[in-house]
Every structure is written in structure tokens, then in C-alpha cells.
Amino acid sequence: MQDLFHKMLVAMGEDPAREGLHATPKRAASAWTYLTRGYQQDPAALLKSAVFDIESNHMVIVRDIEIYSLCEHHLLPFFGVCHIGYIPRGKIIGVSKLARLADLFARRLQVQERLTNQIARTIMDTLQPEGVGVIIEARHLCMMMRGVEKQNSRMVTSAMLGSFHDSVATRNEFLHLSRHHDLN
């Protein structure tokens, strides 16, 4: 990967040997390895390491999970928040694993629509809850820095599975609770 970044600097018209750039190919390769580390992780194994049996059928929501990803079309970042909710059916997941799952899929080249669905589907397949809802709100630098250059635009995607899809009341409860509310 270092060689590719070196070639890219040359193709841009830069001199990779100049003082500010001589270590850039190494640093960039290291950064890209980190930014795409989700390819090296198994989502099912991640979740299965923290599944607990419990009798609960009340909605569980983790809100405002920060996500950072790279658009697969332009290789530019998009970033925002992810809200995850589910209704257990005898099994719950350690709360930090939901955030780790969102990060795992975000740390791959993505489109927001697929990212949202991957998170929801993995939770549904692993826990087999009554239902799952995932909402992602993100800003895309490919829209902000280039192209239409719309600085205040946000993309919102959702995936509703099981009771979150089938029941208007369940879906509305999730949508209401995932909005920002003061904790005071």
C-alpha cells in the first residue's frame, strides 16, 4: 500500500522525497489499514462473545453511536451517528458490542444504505429478537467538499426488521425514543 501512495503522490505532481512528504506513504498506508480494519473482523463472532440469556421483552436502544466511514464511490469520509434498537426474545447483547458492530461495518468501504442494513441484519440473525431498528444520520464529504458542495446536508437511512417493520406502534416508539431528549 505504501508503494501505491508513493505512486499517487507522483501522479498528483508532488515530490514524495520532499521534507513534508517523505514519510507520507508509510503514514497513509497505516491510516488506511486502520480506517478499513472492519474487513479483518467477524461480525457474528463479535456479537456472540457477549450474548446473555435474560427474560426481557422491552425495547433496548443505544443512541448517538458515532460512526466514521469511507464512501466507496469517492473514497471520501462520511460521519455521523447511529441509533440501534431491538426487542429481546430471551437474549440480550452487551451494550458496547452494539457500538463495536456499528464501527466494524463502518470501517469498510461503504454506502450508508448498506451499512444501515448490515448492522440491522447481523443483530437480527445473531440474537433473533422480536425486532430490530437502525437509523443512521450522516454527513458525506463527497457532497460537502466536491460536486454539489452542500455543507448542511445530512443523509438519513433506516432499516426496520421484525416487529419494527410490522408494527407501527413499535416503529413509532423507536423513532420517538431515538430522537434527542435531555437526560435531566
Residues known to be catalytic: 71-74, 112, 140, 142
Residue 148 burial by CB count (10 A; 0-12/13-18/19+): exposed, middle or buried? exposed
* Category of 90 on φ-ψ map: left (φ > 0), alpha (ψ -120 to 50) or beta: left
Residue 115 burial by CB count (10 A; 0-12/13-18/19+): exposed, middle or buried? buried
The total of other beta-carbon atoms located within 10 Å of residue 141's CB is 14
Residue 2 burial by CB count (10 A; 0-12/13-18/19+): exposed, middle or buried? middle
Residue with cell 441509533: 83
